[in-house]
Every structure is written in C-alpha cells, then in structure tokens.
Amino acid sequence: MNRMMLFIPLIIFAVMAAFLGGGIGRENKDVLPSPLVDKPFPQFILQQVEAEKQLTQTDLQGKPMLVNVWATWCPTCKAEHEFLNTLAAEGIRIIGINYKDDDEEAKIWLRDYGNPYEFNISDPKGKLGLELGVYGAPETFFVDGDGIIRAKHVGDLNQRVWDKYKAQFAGMITHVDPVAAELTNTPMGEEK
Amino acid sequence: MKLIVALCLSLFALTSLAVVDGHKYPFDNEIDKGRFEVLAEELRCPKCQNQNLADSNAPVASDLRDKVYELMNEGQTDDQIVSYLVARYGDFVRYNPPVQKNTFFLWFGPGVMALIAFFIIIRLTRTNKKSQPLSEEESTKLAELKAARSEKQES
C-alpha cells in the first residue's frame, strides 16, 4: 500500500484545523451583517427627546448622517460619547435614537456630557430599535441623503472605526431637502 | 411506541421552555401555544447567539418573544413571522438556515465528509485483507516449524 495514504488523515486534520481555527477569530458579534443595508430607513412616528415634536423617517434625509442608537444605561455609549462630540464639532451630522431609556435621564446625560446630536428620537419601548434590528447599544447606522441605510456599525465608534467608514460616508449622496428647496423658491422663502 | 415518543418529546419541550414565563403569553388554544413554542425554539437570540428565544434572558430576546406573540395574534403565519424577523435581523436569527449559496458547506459539508471517510475506510480495509500466497521458501519454513512443534508435543 502506498505509504503516502497514511498522511491523508493528517492532511485533512490540518485543513480542518486551519478552516475552523480561522473561524474562531472571525466569530465576532460586530460583523453580524445587517439585512437593512441599502434599504430605506424604516418608517416611524416618535417623539423628540428634547422637545415636544413628532419625528418621522422624513426627518432623516437631506444631508448624510450617522444615526446613533444609545442609552444612559449603556457603558459603551459613555465611552464613545466623547468621540461623537468630536465628530459633531467637525460638522458631521449625527442623529440620536435614545433606545429603551428615560427621556429625563437622557436630557441630564446630554447636559452633562455634551450634545453631539442634531436631535434625539425617543424610543422608550425599543420599537424603532426592533425595526432596525438593534440587538445591543451602541449601534450606528450610516444614512445617506435619500434616507437609505448604507452601512451599520455595532459597538462603539472611535477613530479607528471612523477611518474605515470615512471615505464611504464622504461619498454618500447629499440632497437639499426637496421641501425646504421648494420653500425657498416660493415668495415666502424670498422674504427671508 | 408512539405514545412513548410523544411523551419524550413533550419532556424536551418542557425543559427548554422553562425560562419563558408561560403566563405572559396566554393562548386560547393548544395549536397556537404549540406554534409559539416551536417559533421561540427555532429563532435565535441575536445578542447571545448560542441561545434561542425561549432560553435567553437577554432583553432583546424578550422583545422578540413579545413581537412574535404580537404578530401571531395579528393572524400572521409562521413563515410571515420568520421573514419579518429575518428582514430586520438577517438569517442569523434562524436556527434552521435556508439552503443558499453561502450555506452549501453547512448543509452538505458533513455528508461529503462522511462519504470521503467511508471511501477511505473501504480502501484501507480492502488493501489490508489482500494476502499474498507464501513463497516456496516460506512454505518449507512453515512445514519445518509445524513438524518441530508436533515433535515437541509428542515428547
């Protein structure tokens, strides 16, 4: 019998060890792919945290934005907050979803740690979170000017992560809000 | 026999649903109750990927159980409920993944490997069994040894 045959089990073992060993490193909750990428942001009607105002998905259009899911009970959200402040200072548009949280506590948090958000959507029951497939805060959605989700990041946002998405974000479609554009064309707009 | 199998299966269902507080999801008939239990077992908790919705204590699992219950009461079918969750959380929420391009290895890998192992075993056992006829020298040696042995026994 061919002696080389004896090595077949060893070779199979080596191949499987390489394949499965590679899988161990990749087993990372951060890479759970979202089926929502390249889909429109889900419809919703929810209150704003900071004001008595109703918000819908149409508020998430115009200029490309980060939609950041956060909560005061989430330690990682605290860790990434400073970086969000930095991004906001650079002129990046950030919208918050206050996920399964208390509006009053959220307001205190924003007062104490700074507010990088253009506005915050109040989602106390996690209904919008469920529509978005959120499974752990913080999560960040990259939404373009048409209100289409282009990418999703699970976990905290930091310089290293931002470098990865920066180019894609910069290349996203930007729109002047059609409603606002119409308004500026009307006599009322000209009066301004 | 059927009764025994049924009893064993029902025991299985009892243990894995122990975590879910049954009173929270009241059903007016046994069929819907069974459907809910099956769905909660076949759907995976996205936060803690090694547990199903029935087993997990994670808040997101509880939210998804509520959603499944809500959709069931709206009259949606099992398929509709599963695709509702897949549309939001991806195929990862299914413990029973669909057969598609990226799951071929998952579905057919074990079978292919078993076949390979089977052929290897057959080859190895076949080649071992084949015995060569003794050469002349060997036969005379064998005869000598046999003779020597019988002499020893006689003495």
Which of B64, B92, B127 comes nearest A32 by C-beta? Answer: B92
Which of A165-169, B22-26, B123-127 is least confident? Answer: B22-26
Check CB contact of A29 with chain B, cutoff 8 Å: yes
Tokens at residue A151, please? 């990418």
> What is the overall mean pLDDT for chain A?
86
Tell me what the mean pLDDT of segment A105-127 comes to.
Answer: 95
Inspect the interface and report whether the beta carbons of A136 and B63 lie closer than 8 Å: no
Q: For residues B24 and B49, state if they share a domain.
A: yes
Q: Element (H or E) spanning A141, and its range?
A: strand A139-143
pTM for the full model? 0.71
Residue A52 lies in a domain: yes
Band (A186; pLDDT cuts 50, 70, 90): very low
Task: Look at residue A80 in the predicted model and tell me its pLDDT.
Answer: 94
Residue B144 lies in a domain: yes
Q: What is the CATH number of the domain that holds A59?
A: 3.40.30.10
Which of A59-73, A126-140, B47-61, B81-95 is least confident? Answer: B47-61
At B88-133, the pLDDT tens digits run: 998 888 888 778 877 888 889 899 999 999 998 998 888 766 667 7
- Total structural domains in chain A? 1
At A16-61, the pLDDT tens digits run: 899 888 777 665 555 577 889 999 999 999 999 999 999 999 999 9
Q: How far is B60 from chain A (nearest CA, A)?
A: 6
Residue A184 lies in a domain: no
Prediction ipTM score: 0.73
Range of B75's domain? Answer: 2-93
Check CB contact of A21 with chain B, cutoff 8 Å: no
* pLDDT at residue A185 tops 90: no
Residue B149 lies in a domain: yes
Tokens at residue A188, please? 């009322």
- Total structural domains in chain B? 2
Sheet containing strand A149-154, edge to edge, reads A120-123, A94-99, A65-70, A139-143, A149-154
Tell me what the mean pLDDT of segment A166-188 comes to.
Answer: 66
Residue of B43, B69, B89 for testing the chain A interface, max A β-carbons within 10 Å: B89
Residue A137 lies in a domain: yes
Q: For residues B78 and B135, state if they share a domain.
A: no
Task: Look at residue B22 in the predicted model and tell me its pLDDT.
Answer: 54
Q: How far is A86 from chain B (nearest CA, A)?
A: 29
* Burial class for B94, CB neighbours closer than 10 Å (0-12, 13-18, 19+): middle
* pLDDT at residue A76 tops 70: yes
Residue B99 lies in a domain: no
Residue B33 lies in a domain: yes
* pLDDT at residue B81 tops 90: yes
Tokens at residue A104, please? 């009053």
Check CB contact of B146 with chain A, cutoff 8 Å: no
Q: For residues B15 and B89, state if they share a domain.
A: yes
Tokens at residue B87, please? 């549309």
* Gap between the Cα atoms of A36 and B92, Å rounded: 13
Neighbours of A30 (CB within 10 A): 9
Q: With contact defined as beta carbons under 8 Å apart, do A95 and A66 qualify?
A: yes
Band (A68; pLDDT cuts 50, 70, 90): very high
Which of B59, B64, B87 comes nearest A35 by C-beta? Answer: B87
Q: For residues B66 and B117, state if they share a domain.
A: no
Which of A1, A126, A130 comes nearest B88 by C-beta? Answer: A130
Q: With contact defined as beta carbons under 8 Å apart, do A147 and A165 qualify?
A: no
Residue A11 lies in a domain: no
Q: For residues B89 and B30, state if they share a domain.
A: yes
Closest chain A residue to B88, measured at CA:
A133
Residue B102 lies in a domain: no
Task: Look at residue B85 in the predicted model and tell me its pLDDT.
Answer: 93
> What is the overall mean pLDDT for chain B?
83
Residue A139 lies in a domain: yes
Residues contacting residue A44 through CB under 8 Å, at least 6 positions apart: A55, A56, A57, A121, A127, A128, A131
Residue with tokens 């008595």: A52
Amino acid type, B99:
V
Q: With contact defined as beta carbons under 8 Å apart, do B27 and B38 qualify?
A: no
* pLDDT at residue A175 tops 50: yes
- From chain B, pick out residues whose CB is under 8 angstroms from the CB of A131: 88
Domain boundary among B93, B120, B136: B93
Q: For residues B62 and B22, state if they share a domain.
A: yes
Q: What is the CATH number of the domain that holds B13?
A: 1.10.8.640
Please report the residues numbered 105 through 164 in chain A whose beta carbons come closer than 8 angstroms to any beta carbon of chain B: 126, 129-136
Task: Look at residue A19 in the predicted model and tell me its pLDDT.
Answer: 85
* Gap between the Cα atoms of B54 and A86, Å rounded: 42
At B42-78, the pLDDT tens digits run: 898 888 778 888 888 888 888 999 999 999 999 999 9
Inspect the interface and report whether the beta carbons of B123 and A5 lie closer than 8 Å: yes
Residue A123 lies in a domain: yes
Q: For residues B36 and B89, state if they share a domain.
A: yes
B122-136 CB burial, b ≥16 within 10 A, e <16: eeeeeeeeeeeeeee
Residue B100 lies in a domain: no
Range of A60's domain? Answer: 32-177
Residue B59 lies in a domain: yes
DSSP assignment of A61-88: -SS-EEEEEE-TT-HHHHHHHHHHHHHH
Residue B122 lies in a domain: yes
Q: What is the CA radius of gyration of chain A?
A: 22
Residue A187 lies in a domain: no
Residue A105 lies in a domain: yes
